[in-house]
Structure 1
Amino acid sequence: METAIAFIIIFGSIVFFHELGHFIFAKKAGIMVREFAIGMGPKIFGMTKGETLYTIRLLPIGGYVRMAGEDMDSVELQPGFRLGIHVNNDNEIDLIALNQNKQFPDMLFLEVEKADLTNEMFIEGYDEEESFVRYKIARNARINENGNETFIAPYDRQFGSKTVGQRSMAIFAGPLFNFILAFFIFLILGLLQGVPTYEPVITTVVADGPAAQAGMKDGDLVTKINGSPISTWDELSEEVKVSPNQKMGFTVDRKGETLEFSMIPKEVTSGKEKLGQIGVQYVSPLEKNPIKAVAFGAEQTYDWTKRIFTLLGSLITGKFSIDDLSGPVGIYKATEEVAQYGVFNLMHWAAILSINLGIMNLLPLPALDGGRLLFFLFEAVRGKPVDKQKEGMVHFVGIMLLMVLMVVVTWNDIQRFFF
């Protein structure tokens, strides 16, 4: 149960920030956002505030921001269609009822002759007395169909009406917010836990190892190796790794006292490499410093971004196969393992997942944010947008392929963890 709660909180937070990026920059561009959804599938909770419906949906596998002008969003009123309208004090239509069985106070009924709900925003037709009438539609007008109301979106409030730059930013902002979330999680970890100093301090000396035999002790700070100064654990580790079976001299600071030790790193095999080891273990000392915590947040975000791109490169070159990929089941099992080591480790895991989601969405594949950005790039180069039907077909095929990949990855996870 605790794992399920942790998974929902982590994944829900990552998806929330991703969609929040889309939402903020869509609103900034003046685009009407019809729905802000966390999760997919059937709605389990919904609340309308302003012109946006906020929902939580059953399946915790994603989310979306539905913008006006996308996915067959518009309503067309054909000649001869009978509907009900409500007119405000400015003699503008503020409500259109498509189902005439629904009665509203002061409702008027007319038969449509001509209508434009997005550009000129008017309805012409014949009223119940068969008189020809023309009404302007208010910019905040609503359409009611079987009790469900949505706002009419004037063309200048629709996604397609905006510049390539505005549309691109509204799409790019989702992955961008995943990187921002990761940065703030690492920043908080730096503030609460402290920032690793990476000083070459020996945490534990392993019994009977070269370091123990030479006389080194827990807490020794290594300042020089073979007479050359060192300042980080990585420098110490690298010097030892490349020196198997070679005599090495260590200068150590032990509580203010300078000591000298000599030892020969033993040779160990790692894959095809021969590496040196002196038998010590390391946990970096932590320092609580707000300025360093900011730098730590940026460094960790950059380092993990680079690592994930490296893994993607391995997948492309064949060093990493599709069988090694994990989907929601694999992420759930990994969350279960990480949760055993405390909330700080869960936070670290959430930051990595957030970066991963940001990178995955930026891949130039159909149906992903990166795929949409690629179409905007084509539009900017060509000077005109790609045909909507062709683009829609490409994204549809992309969605189908992603669904197939999701099924394959999920099945691999099930076999890996439950069989």
Structure 2
Amino acid sequence: MAKKARLRVDEFGIGFPPRLIGIRKKNVILRESRACGTTKDTAHKRTGFFTAFRMTNWEVVWGHPVRGKTPEASADALGHRTSNGVDPHAGGTLYSINLFPFGGFVRIKGESGNERLDQDSFASRGAGVRIMIAAAGVLMNALLAVVLIAAGYRLGFPQAISDQPSKYAQISDQHIEVMGVLPDSPAAQSGLNVGDRILAVGVASETAALRELQNSEDFRNVTKELVGESVTLVVESDKVRREIQVTPKILEQTGKAGIGVAIVDAAIVRYPLWVALPKAFETVGILAKTIVVAFADIVRDALLGRPVTAELAGPVGIAVLTGQAARMGFVFLLQFIAILSINLAILNVLPIPALDGGRILFILIEKLRRRPVAVKVEMMIQQISFVLLLLLIIFVTYRDLGRYGGRITEFFKNMVQ
């Protein structure tokens, strides 16, 4: 968006600073004086005083420039000053990888409010253009989520089919799936887990073949009929089948006969593209609303001094959960990345300085006051907010290490073996 508005993009970063490494194009202008005739290097006939051509190569930038230090400088053959440091306006856009792997950023010339007279400066544009540029990242995150969800609907999402699916839905791999297990129930004691598929059932004392189940209602009827008898269940998890023994009984929690599981009829449901796309927009809207409500609950609990019970995940937790989603299958990974993208969109649009929403807030304040906020004041607020945000990331990462440390250790042990 910034480049379309003909602004200079100094850096496109993955993660939050400090910078670890970056790469950018470096332009070198070679000139050769000629009174007339053919230039040997360019093989072009010239009648002027000189010929010129541009040669592009790449330079690697390591680390973050130290405040107060002047980059080492040298002169090229033409007397132009070149720098081994990071001049923000030299060469092309710097593509960088930063220390904290949480989101990303775009650094545009003039974001600090300076250089208002330069045509390629962010500060030279009107409020409307600046708001559109600041909101571009949020919109791209939301659009990415729509594309990923639409791809999932096209490839086939596993979902409950209790309700009558659309007439355009293509259903395959229909099965009974465990959605919940009551603590201390026969199901819990037998080792039945959330996500298991129940394929067949039979009486353990009988040698007759196991009975395949058609749907969840069929399973409920069987367990009601076999209260007090040892029952064999054939279940599947991670494409591995196993048999378990369980005895249905009258459950204390519900007063009904069963083994203490919540089950649902599930299947792989695919949609044609022209149906998948509108459904993706609808799904992203529902997910966004759910995330906003959850975030509001977190803020409310924090302000009221209540313990925050919501499960927050930082970079470590996200990495662990991404690995789990990848092991479940490609479609699950698409779904997880889409949810992450929606989370980032909502987080970035919040009116918090150091985020896109905070920048939009300052632009709106400038519009109302008819003059910009003092550069020093804005920079101080942005820096304080950035430090607080990094402290939050560090805190959540510390919690993640306590929660997932065992899994991470086990992962590296398996790699070494």
TM-score of Structure 1 vs Structure 2, range by shorter chain: 0.5 to 0.7
The CA distance in 1 between the partners of 2:341 and 2:307, in whole Å, is 21
Aligned to 2:335: 348
C-alpha contact (below 8 Å) 2:157/2:331 kept by paired residues = no
Q: 1:42, CA displacement in angstroms? A: 3.6
Aligned to 2:129: 166
Q: 1:38, CA displacement in angstroms? A: 2.6
Aligned to 1:330: 317
The CA distance in 2 between the partners of 1:324 and 1:220, in whole Å, is 33
C-alpha contact (below 8 Å) 2:154/2:276 kept by paired residues = yes
Q: How does 1:182-331 map to 2 (within 5 A)?
A: 182-193=145-156, 198-200=161-163, 203-204=175-176, 218-219=213-214, 269=253, 280-284=263-267, 286-318=269-301, 321=308, 324-331=311-318
The CA distance in 2 between the partners of 1:268 and 1:29, in whole Å, is 66
Q: Which runs of 4+ in 1 moved over 6 A?
A: 276-279
Q: 1:410, CA displacement in angstroms? A: 1.2
C-alpha contact (below 8 Å) 1:311/1:320 kept by paired residues = no
Aligned to 1:53: 93
The CA distance in 2 between the partners of 1:72 and 1:43, in whole Å, is 26
The CA distance in 2 between the partners of 1:162 and 1:195, in whole Å, is 47
Map Cα deviations across residues 218-264 of structure 1 (whole Å, 9 max, x no partner).
Answer: 44699xxxxxxxxxxxxxxxxxxxxxxxxxxxxxxxxxxxxxxxxxx
Q: Which amino acid aligns with 2:135?
A: F
C-alpha contact (below 8 Å) 1:195/1:293 kept by paired residues = no
The CA distance in 1 between the partners of 2:263 and 2:216, in whole Å, is 12
Alignment counterpart, residue 339 of structure 1, candidates 326, 332, 342? 326
1:402 paired to 2:378: no
Q: Which amino acid aligns with 1:34?
A: D
Q: How does 1:38-77 map to 2 (within 5 A)?
A: 38-39=14-15, 40-48=17-25, 52-59=92-99, 60-71=101-112
The CA distance in 2 between the partners of 1:53 and 1:268, in whole Å, is 65
Superposition RMSD in Å: 3.7
Unaligned runs of 5+ in 2: 28-90, 165-173, 177-197, 203-210, 218-249, 407-417
Q: 1:381, CA displacement in angstroms? A: 1.9
The CA distance in 2 between the partners of 1:221 and 1:42, in whole Å, is 54
Q: Normalising by structure 1, what TM-score? A: 0.55
Q: 1:328, CA displacement in angstroms? A: 0.5
Q: How does 1:16-35 map to 2 (within 5 A)?
A: 25-35=1-11
Q: 1:340, CA displacement in angstroms? A: 1.5
Q: Percent identity?
A: 31
Give the total of aligned pairs: 268
1:383 paired to 2:370: yes
Q: 1:36, CA displacement in angstroms? A: 2.1
Map Cα deviations across residues 296-345 of structure 1 (whole Å, 9 max, x no partner).
Answer: 21122112111111110110221761883221011111112222211111
Aligned to 1:180: 143
Q: Normalising by structure 2, what TM-score? A: 0.56
Aligned to 1:99: none
Q: 1:373, CA displacement in angstroms? A: 1.0
The CA distance in 2 between the partners of 1:217 and 1:396, in whole Å, is 63
The CA distance in 2 between the partners of 1:56 and 1:383, in whole Å, is 36
Map Cα deviations across residues 16-37 of structure 1 (whole Å, 9 max, x no partner).
Answer: xxxxxxxxx2123232112223
C-alpha contact (below 8 Å) 2:22/2:96 kept by paired residues = yes
The CA distance in 1 between the partners of 2:268 and 2:322, in whole Å, is 26
The CA distance in 2 between the partners of 1:200 and 1:217, in whole Å, is 23
Q: Using a 3 Å threshold, how does the CA distance of structure 1 residues 282 and 268 change in structure 2: closer, same or farther?
A: farther
Q: 1:401, CA displacement in angstroms? A: 1.0
Larger RCO: Structure 1 or Structure 2 (Cα < 8 Å, ≥ 6 residues apart)? 2
